[in-house]
Each structure stands twice: as C-alpha cells, then as structure tokens.
Structure 1
C-alpha cells in the first residue's frame, strides 16, 4: 500500500478481488520450486500418447469481402477447447488449472478480430469522442463501501509493486498495491504517464469500460470459445499459440516475466521487454493475431464458471457458439461474480502463473481494473 493513506479493509478487499481475479497464480504451497528461476523449469508439456485433442476443422471459403481496418478474419470451425496441463506452471503446484478441463468439442462461426489488443491511442480516440470516464477514474461511492472512512473513498486502482527481495509465493498481497490516481492514462499511479506510448495496449480497464469501447467501435467482446479458437490459429492441441516450446530457435515468442518473480528488477527482459511491451512486437499466430499469449490479460464476454467445461462435455455433443454460463459460479469464491480473462500477461512466469498457455483461463471481477488487464474486440 502507499504511505499516504491507511490500510483499510475495503482497499484490501478490492485488492483481493482484483488479484485473485486477474493475477491467477495463488500458490498455496511455498517450497523450493516457488523460488525457482526460469532456467530451473521445463518449457514443454509432458508427452501424452493418448491426447484428448481431436483435429481442428476450419470453415472454408467463408470470408466476407471487405476487411475492417486493423482486423483479421477468423474462419471459425470445430476444435478441441481447453487444456490438459495439470499445473499452474509446468514446474509448480498441481491441479489448479482444473477449470480448463475436460477438453471438449466446440464449433464457432467465423468472425473478424482485432489484430492487436486495443491501444492507448485507440482508447484515447474513444474518450475524446464520447467523454467517457473509466471505472478507475471514478471516486468510490458510499453505496459501494458504506463502512469506509470518507478519506479512503479515493479514485485509483491496483498496481503491481515488486518486492525488495525474494519472497515465498504464498501471499499475493506482497506485490500488489491500491494506488491513488492509477487509471488508463496513469497505469502505475498518478505520477506515471502514457505519453509516447500510443501503440502500447491500454490497461486499467474494467469490464464495463471494455464493453463501452466495443459498442462505440461497432464491435463486441469475443466469447471465450471464439477467443481460444482464434488464439490457436487453426492448430490442434498446441501448448502455446506459437507451438509446443516456450522458445522458438532460442527466442521468446511473447512478453512474459523472465527472472526471479516478483523481485524489483527481477524481470530480466530476455524477451525484449521488462514490463509491458508495445503491441505487435512478436511473430503473429497463423491467423495474424499478435500477443494472444502474454503482454496483457484480455476480457472476454463469458461469466466465469469453474465447472462450465464439464457441463459442456457432459452434453456429449459439439457445443455450437457457446456464450458461457448464464451466471457466475465458483465454489472457491462464491460471492464475487467474475468474467473470464484470457491470454496471460507480462507478469506471468513459469514460477507462478503460466496462463499464457493457450488453453488455460483466468477470471476477474467486472469492477476490477489493473495495470496488466486490457482487451481486444471482434465483430
């Protein structure tokens, strides 16, 4: 927390909502692997000779005539959705990616998708045209937090704050802070800026902010099924959007966290960037999409349900254009409704959170922006 305001229960509550919903790496066991370095971990999934993934079958010759600016055509089709990786990270705690299985068959129609995450420049154009004020820019209300002291009802958001030294990865509040003045123009606090960063992904975006932009742009947010079909790029069962190894010819393919997490200056920037990167700095996937792994998390339209994939699999048929569950459901956190995030972020690391793996999922409370959460649109 910052030193210019006291720690209050409501700030801690907001932080908890955001971090559980957006960081997705709550490691319950601190052991030697919790403090491992990137070099200590395996970057490929174990071989599975009985793969549950069936062949992706793309639609053919269904592309409309005119390509909207900044978008690519995703043909749609039938594919195997989900992940059979057991770990949050390939060298870490077992079982916490269970919400991404069982793998099940899904069909989606074709659609257009933004090549990149929505940028600061694009979001600024929206704000200039509409006067829109994001959730993080608004002062919390007495109705939202009836017991909070008035001096703590201040606009702001959650920001990653690295630790001075190595820590056990069993308490995420060690590296997150609620910062006064943090918003899309000031991603890490009131003294930060996006000047000169027009082509960086906009962050500190709550779910309703993403919806508002999409409506203005004549677009919408993707469903989770659409997002994963697009991210897989027509390939079957790959671990990552770019293949089955973390590096290709010795080079990282996404902006993630290399080094010792979450230590100050711990991100070595071996992938070219320590922290957030501009959009489109890495090779696109086969559909021409950039940054569908790493950089910033992306909102999708589905409510989060831990058991939704099981429900679809139990129907024993191909789910056609699934829109997600009708309501939020999560026995591990039943009282804070969340939407699904996809893609991981620049804070994802093989020590703690490998949700840049293409079939894995994240979740976030709708009113919980953070400095590693953005979005892209479809139509």
Structure 2
C-alpha cells in the first residue's frame, strides 16, 4: 500500500488505483513525446547535412580551441601505424599484441582486444569521412547498427583525416582477404566421412590427440581444434586451430596425419603436415599427469585441516584441466556461499608448511596488492559456527 500525500492518492482504493494509472499514462506519453522531439531535431540536422559528431570518443581525435575536431598527434601516430600494419598483412590479433606490448591504451584506458582493433580499422572517420545515423535505437530500446532500416547520410571530407583514403582502402582489402581465407570452404554439411573424408584421420602434432570440429561465427564457420587442449587445458597442450577450407585444400593423404601450426610475425598461421609413421618415430602421445589417490599416504594432513571461518573440514578438489589440487571448505562446497565464505588453499601451500601433527584451522587473507596469504592456528577460533 502506498499513499501519496501531495496528490492525495491511496493505492488501496479503486479511485486511487485509477488515478495512478492515468497519471502514469500521461507521464509515459510525455516521455515518448520528448523522445520523438529529440529524434526530430537530429533528423532535421541529418537532412540539412549538419554533422552530429561524437569523435571525442574516438582514439586519435581531440577538439582544438575552436571546438573543431583535429588529430591528436600523440594517438594519431599509432592510428597510422595500425593501418599500415593491417595493409601489410598483419592480423588484428598481432596488432593488438604490438599495441599492448608498447603500453598503448584505448580511449577507455584499457588494453586492446581484437574487436577494438577491428572497429578502428573499419571506421571511415580516420579518412576524414563521417556517416550520420550509423546506429539507431530500435523498438526494443536497444542501440543497433543501421543496416538500411532507417535513413543514413555519408559526408565526405567532414573533418581532418588521419590516414589517406588509399591506405584506408588497402587495410579494408586486407581485412576482406582475411575473412575470405577463414570462410573458404566453410559450408557446413552433415558430418560424414563422405563430406569430410579427413574427419577421423587428423591429429594435433603437439600432443597426439585427435582434432575435433569447432563451429562458430553463428554456425557459419568451421575449424578443427585440438581435443587434448579442450579436455585438459592449455597447461597440457597449446593446441592448434585450422580452418576447414585450409585443411580441405591441403588434404591429399589416405592415412592419419598430424598437423602443427606456427604463427609468423604478422600473425598469419602456417601449417605443417606429417604422416603418422613419421610422427610416431619421433613422438609419443602426451599423457596427462597422474592424479595421486586421495589417501593418507599421499596427503598425511588430510584429516587435520579445517576452515577457520566455520570449522568444517577441508576436502580435496582437483582441477579437471590442469589437475592442480586445492583444499576447499566442505560446508561451502555442500551448501554454498550463504553457509560460509569458505577457505580455499592450494595443496602446494600446505605441503610447504612443517609437518602437521594436530588439527589446524586455515584462513586466507588478501593484502592490499591482491596477493593471497594463508595463516593457520591449532586453536579453534572463538565464535566459530558448527
């Protein structure tokens, strides 16, 4: 129940509910009217060719004392470097690594990722042009890319360019060639040996495990990846990732084939193929490290370690990928965070302590730098939950 003193509305009464509904409808109509008015202002500006710019959010640009967008040379030099690298065949992933290794931050002050590099390379603002209404708010109130649903305007020579139109186009051509390379042969069909004669004959040369199909890009692209890395993680194998089109064009063996990859300085991958007999003469299938049995012989302290927060015994947890052993609070494991914040301590930490002869209660503390520190006591903490 709500009572609005100013409007004298009581939601318990039928009249109050009706009045509240009417007022809400008026407020909604006023909000929609204001939104439509704002959209109309932008629409008129678009139609008159008056740019509505947001270049201050773009890496490489700043406003001068006149309020005009100009190149920020401290960042513009890196924009030119990015476009030049892309035109020369460097992948966005290799460009990202280059920028991060040199300590260059994005407009938001964070490290670069592949998608950030892609967006910069595909943006027409860097050759001095501008698209008005590139994005719009749809009926679901979401900002989406304009793909012809509403009018858009392309303005040439709108502001100072950072790269030449020729360099900008060379970068676009290189990106298009990369997409074509990845998409080549990616018509995904029923997975039979007739459609994919190599599907049960390809292996990772790094660990010896079979390659498995990887479908991504919304089901439009097919690659083959290492099942050893998928099962046991990167600690076990770096793995490979080969586009189906590349594999299909290279396949000419009837027997099992082991495939390896090597990335060039430009980030472009090169693949090598080795017949099974040749691979097995020099290699053996990699085996995951054995996990010790959970016995008192392997872990003489396993019955003597407890959570300092709730008093529950610590039990063993084995990471399925890297097989690292951690001891965790049993109460937290069974009942969740609501029951106990829980203690987690790596087995390597406990092994580094002196021989544990009686029960100890362990607690983790993080210092100001986020570094984990562990302390223990043989005295049961007071006020502990049981």
TM, length-normalised to structure 1: 0.18
Tell me which structure has the larger Cα radius of gyration: 2
Higher-helix-fraction structure: 2
Structure with bigger RCO (C-alpha 8 Å, 6+ apart): 1
Q: Normalized against structure 2, the TM-score is what?
A: 0.18
